[in-house]
Structure 1
């Protein structure tokens, strides 16, 4: 099956790419394995020079790359621009900090001298999703490559042009040939690549179902694996929150990238005393959103990335309504072409409904009403996921106390959940394991070696 680049705003096919045959995959993996040895032998300063060049390229070609993202997944152009700038920041961050994160650590023991040293594992396979087609790859590849690993990318099948543009950017930045390659392969072919002895480790960002398959394949072959999977992040609003401000933040937290984000707020857990006010103000803000051409900066509703994703989301909405949820606004197909969906608010959502139990990967907000903080905590943790969450209150100490009780990889108090190169990112439960970013992320794909000398 060829890989198709389809514009979700129009439904038109832009370009088709053939998938590789086994001989091309085999030759590429050999070339990458050979290149990785030389790459690891370079100094941190030499590797950082390439990484800083990559940051410059992202800024120099930012508009071109942003347009490419918008054409392939329908993301608002202004959001795509921000994604490319974040890539530049991530590259710069690891160019600046990789060496300090991986310096030898001298440990006092019964030896004359003992230490922990960090050495790269080899070639890392990055299996990446479509929703942030540049940033998802960079946040995994920048630390892995600064540490001396090589990277091969298996990108989502609907973003082949983004995948090839990333390879070109690495090449233009001066990374030695074959230290970064894009594999034009299918999901079925990826399993054989995971098993290949030239692959030392695997990182995947995607659905929980995909994570289970990759984890099983990696485990069978004893490969290190990092998984960043789905989420059903709680957005908890306490009775002392600034409702006007919080509703504005909720709009971004739920509908940025048309809600197609693992860390988007999905379950809005509201204390009863402020629930009506919040829903009223939230609805008013949603009603002001306008659909249109995602390249127009006046547009605030973009298409979803694919028509099948829209159909899946609408089915979840319909089943939730049938189970007793109340439709406040939206929840319909819009436009005569493209994968547009009217942003929806579902009120009176309860456990047992798809809107509560499943990940809604699109522009639908689920309102859950609770009597008190204790019930808010209980329902926030009543999920198979554990990626992120947020708490909104005028009392920061109260917010921190509540954040410590939420079962998730990260919890933000009075802020929207986001990834940041300075902070570790990842989840627990069905949201995966391992960490990206910060010094935690760069050490995931290293041999943490003890050296003992008498």
Structure 2
């Protein structure tokens, strides 16, 4: 997902017009070192602050974000192209996550008693230090939030290397923390290229790293973290299965599948990328999908009437079109779309592919754009086999009129999340993360706050109350 535009500057390029709007200089080594030093120094005091102080900061950040949701939403739309209503919803979700950890963090991190036959024992959850967070462009506020909220509440300090095509979103989040009263060094934005982020893992002042992005970027970060024996978490995208069983409500499934796939112009890790339908309802389902496609309206993402936004960049359009062309060359059938839309901006036609066989590259790849890959299967066993025929394992959905049946199928899907009769969703209290090539670790929910704390055992020889 990283979109570097050179090593001397990072730029806002409006994907609706392809015009350069603003640019920032990449940080030189001296400035970068001073920021790491500040984060390290601040940690020594921030880790000692009361939970109430940390919670007050996060609540203030949430309030500022809600008060500025129109401004922030327009900025996200300007930089990476998503529909304005989607951008504003993202800001509101981010504010909810900050509030969630402000409200629940102290409870999650309270000492946890352990049973032992002699004396007493408990776990003390303690922050570990400076964290490096590397984040992508497709959700420029939410991706940062789900990393920042739990870890700052836990007492860590944060260094953020955001994607290079959303520099204004990156900078304004630091500005919001400053406005909220955060001590200098608690939250800092870094304008650096991706390669530099991997190099930073070696710095002894940085204690752990988290990344959401591409498989190559994740491999580089994981390798560096392993070399220096540092904790890491990774979320590396997905090729989620959207299974429609023969007892499903077809209209509801079509609505969810098409809207979900066109959300953010198809640039969502948990988007329903592989639509798998039992054959008895497959033809009906496909005809309804085609009708739904006909109503999609590309245009200005700031216009509330627009239903399909541009992709994030010219390169993004070119890459997705190449994947579609390759899939067709390898035997897939192109039913609709597959080309650029003849207008200014990074637009691609909504695309419908069928006939994708196991020897086709699209069978296992992630296509990060408005491309709907449709599969017809004989039964639920075939659906499960096809759903698992990928190295990815992030999310997935199952539509069925029988919840017990759907849950049974869900248990057999090799993925981190499965939603029944619903798209893979996002709420603060539910964990987000995957397995296999989609990475490891969890964000959000109670699980998200335990990734980067030291669960220290404290044991006494006499019975006592650790609280």
Distance (whole Å) between structure 2 residues aligned to residue 158 and residue 15 of structure 1: 10
Deviation at 1:357, TM superposition (A): 1.2
Q: Does 1:342 find its partner at 2:344?
A: no
- Which runs of structure 2 are paired with 1:296-445 in the superposition (5 Å)? 296-445=303-452
Please state how far the C-alpha of 1:419 moved relative to its aligned partner: 2.3
Q: What is the DSSP-based 3-state SS (H/G/I as helix, E as strand, rest coil) of the residue aligned with 1:109?
A: coil
Measure the CA separation in 2 of the matches of 1:390 and 1:214.
30
Superposition RMSD in Å: 0.9
After TM superposition, give the deviation of residue 327 of structure 1 in Å: 1.5
Q: Any idea what SS the aligned residue of 2:434 has? A: coil
Unaligned 5+ runs, structure 1? none
Assess if the C-alpha contact under 8 Å between 1:283 and 1:328 holds in 2: no
Would you say the 8 A contact 1:317–1:354 is kept in 2? Answer: no
Query: In structure 2, which of residues 271, 274, 279 is the aligned counterpart of residue 267 of structure 1?
Result: 274
Residue in 1 aligned with 2:28? 21
Q: Distance in 2 between matches of 1:385 and 1:343?
A: 23
Pair 1:112 & 2:156 matched: no
Matched, 1:240 2:277: no
Give, in angstroms, the shift of residue 57 of structure 1. 0.4
Find out whether 1:174 has 2:174 as its counterpart. no
In structure 2, how many angstroms separate the alpha carbons of the residues matched to 1:430 and 1:111? Answer: 44
Q: Distance in 2 between matches of 1:242 and 1:352?
A: 32
**Alpha-carbon distance in 2 for matches of 1:131, 1:157:** 12
Q: How far is the alpha carbon of 1:322 from its aligned partner?
A: 1.6
Q: Runs (4+) of structure 1 moved beyond 2 Å? A: none
Deviation of the 1:286 alpha carbon: 1.2
2:205 match: 198
**Which residue pairs with 1:80 in the alignment?**
87
**Distance in 2 between residues matched to 1:208 and 1:59, nearest whole Å:** 33
Query: 1:125 corresponds to which residue?
Result: 132
Residue correspondences, number: 454
The SS at the match of 2:201 is helix
Report deviation, 1:111: 3.8
> For the Cα contact (< 8 Å) 1:36–1:148, is it kept in 2?
yes
State the partner residue of 2:261: 254
SS at match of 1:417: coil
Task: Give the conservation status (yes or no) of the 8 Å contact 1:111–1:452.
Answer: no
2:4 corresponds in structure 1 to: none
- Aligned ranges for residues 61-72 of structure 1 at < 5 Å? 61-72=68-79
| TM-score, normalization by structure 2 | 0.96
Deviation at 1:418, TM superposition (A): 1.7
2-structure distance, mates of 1:329, 1:13: 32
Cα drift, residue 175 of structure 1? 1.2
Q: Deviations over 1:390-436 (max 9, x none)?
A: 10011111000000000000001101002221111111110000111
Say if 2:36 is the partner of 1:38.
no
Shift of 1:77: 0.4
Counterparts of 2:59 and 2:18 in 1: how far apart (Å)?
37
The residue number in structure 1 matching 2:152 is 145
Give how far 1:347 is off: 1.5
SS at match of 1:34: helix
Unaligned runs of 5+ in 2: 1-7, 462-467
